[in-house]
Amino acid sequence: MYSKASKEKKASIRARYEKALGDYVEKIKHDPYVIAVVLGGSLAYYDVGEDSNLDTMIIVKDNADSATHRVFTEEGITIDSFVMKRDRFRRHLEGIIQGGQYHSFFSKAKILYTTDDSLRDYIKDSNYFGSKDREIQLLNFYSGAFYSMYKTRKFLYIVGDVYGSYSFYMQMVSCLAQIEVTLEGIIPLREVIQQALKLNPTVFNKVFIEASEMKKTEENMTEMIKACEEYLDERMEIAYKPVLDYLADVGEFRTLQEIREYLESKSGQRLPFLNLREIVRRGWVLDSVEEKRITDRSQPLLHEPSFLYDPSMVKEED
């Protein structure tokens, strides 16, 4: 694929980066307050380009202080360094929403230097994507997908701006890719579309590659949206299972707030934009309203949506 010249050029860039990094670490080794230097980003798992920076995480002792984000430079190369105390680093790694941004950093991270071997296990373990975490993340990704879907449609059919619509469409495709990767038990990285293309080329070639290349017309867009909808529909039951299980279990109405808080309390993870409109639209659950006040001091009662699910009835319908 690459020409010989470009290969050579790449090798020389890489050598320059590696030298800079080596020098940087060598200096740090003399600092008794630093426990470890971890490399993430381009050099660790991807190709470096001429304008790349280096991304590192520096773990320091619990009794040392530093700003969180420091920028250094070595041989003209910028080195972005996130500095964390050991305790915070540890808890951060275990508490983080898996599949989130930090996770992406550590999933391909390399320890360049450490005085504390116990950190190796922590970083290694952080690659693990637990089933409960996957459940919550799927719901988050689904909510993201529906949000972009509404926007895509709105710009296409109401605003009549096909390019505006396309920009939301691409966001939706990212969410689809996150769903694909998560369902496979893999941690979605920043390059999630590439990951999804490998896992499910049929769908993603169409919704990503073909969509990029096609003429942006209302008709073409409609077709792509339909493909995405089908994709979402097929996996929706799996994604919404935790919600339906919970509602089936209580057998009564629960408000959106209650459902969210329940799922959050059991996972220790956040679920900020849980979207249940789609499962109502599909007739899986019945929505009604509960009377609630905005603040506990308020008098007027407002209507908060609440949901009921009855598994026996859904089966009858089938």
Ligand X SMILES: Nc1ncnc2c1ncn2[C@@H]1O[C@H](COP(=O)(O)OP(=O)(O)OP(=O)(O)O)[C@@H](O)[C@H]1O
Burial 145-158 (b: 16+ CB within 10 A, else e): bbbbbebbbebbee
The residue within the footprint of another protein, chosen from 44, 269, 271, 274 (CB under 8 A), is 269
Hey, what's the torsion of the CAs at 40, 29, 69, 272, to 10 degrees?
50
Residues 38-97 within binding reach of another protein (CB under 8 A): 61-63, 85-87, 90-92, 94-95
In terms of CB distance, is 101 or 205 closer to ligand X?
101
Helices marked H in the chain — which ranges? 4-28, 41-45, 86-95, 101-107, 118-125, 131-153, 162-183, 192-199, 201-204, 211-213, 218-239, 241-250, 256-267, 277-281, 311-317
Among 17, 37, 39, 41, binds Mg ion (CB under 5 A): 41
Is residue 104 part of the contact set for another protein (CB under 8 A)? no
Q: Report if residue 53 touches Mg ion, rule: CB under 5 A.
A: yes
Please, what is the minimum distance in Å from the beta carbon of residue 41 to Mg ion? 5
According to CB under 6 A, which one of 40, 99, 144, 242 is a site residue for ligand X? 40
- Token output for 204: 């993603």
Binding partner of 82, given ligand X, Mg ion, another protein, none, CB within 5-8 angstroms per partner class: ligand X
The verdict on 46 binding ligand X (CB under 6 A) reads yes
Q: State yes or no: residue 99 binds ligand X (CB under 6 A).
A: no
Quote the least distance from Cβ 296 to ligand X, whole Å. Answer: 37
Pairing of strands 54-60, 77-85: parallel
Stretch that binds Mg ion, among 16-24, 37-45, 106-114, 238-246 (CB under 5 A): 37-45
* Among the residue ranges 119-127, 169-177, 179-187, 212-220, the one whose residues contact another protein (CB under 8 A): 119-127
Q: Is the Cβ of residue 61 or residue 108 nearer to another protein in the bound state?
A: 61
Please, are residues 157 and 169 in contact by the beta-carbon 8 Å criterion? no
Q: Which is nearer to ligand X, 41 or 99 (CB)?
A: 41
Q: Which residues contact 5 (CB under 8 A, 6 or more apart)?
A: none
Q: Is 308 in the site for another protein (CB under 8 A)?
A: yes
C-alpha–C-alpha distance, residues 289 and 255, integer Å: 8
Rg, the chain, Cα only: 24
Region of 38-46, 131-139, 155-163, 287-295 interacting with ligand X (CB under 6 A): 38-46
Only one residue has tokens 């007027």, namely 300
Q: Which does 170 bind (CB under 5 to 8 A by kind): ligand X, another protein, Mg ion, none?
A: none
Burial class (CB in 10 A: 0-12, 13-18, 19+), 171: middle
Q: Determine phi and psi for 25, rounding to 5 degrees.
A: -65, -40
How far apart are alpha carbons 137 and 15 in whole angstroms?
38
Helix (H, G, I), strand (E, B) or coil at 309: coil
State the residues that interact with another protein by CB under 8 A.
32, 35, 61-63, 85-87, 90-92, 94-95, 98, 115-118, 121-122, 125, 128-133, 135, 251-253, 258, 261, 264-269, 286, 288, 291, 293, 295-299, 308, 310, 312-313
State the residues that interact with ligand X by CB under 6 A.
40-42, 46, 49, 52-53, 55, 82, 101-102, 104-105, 190
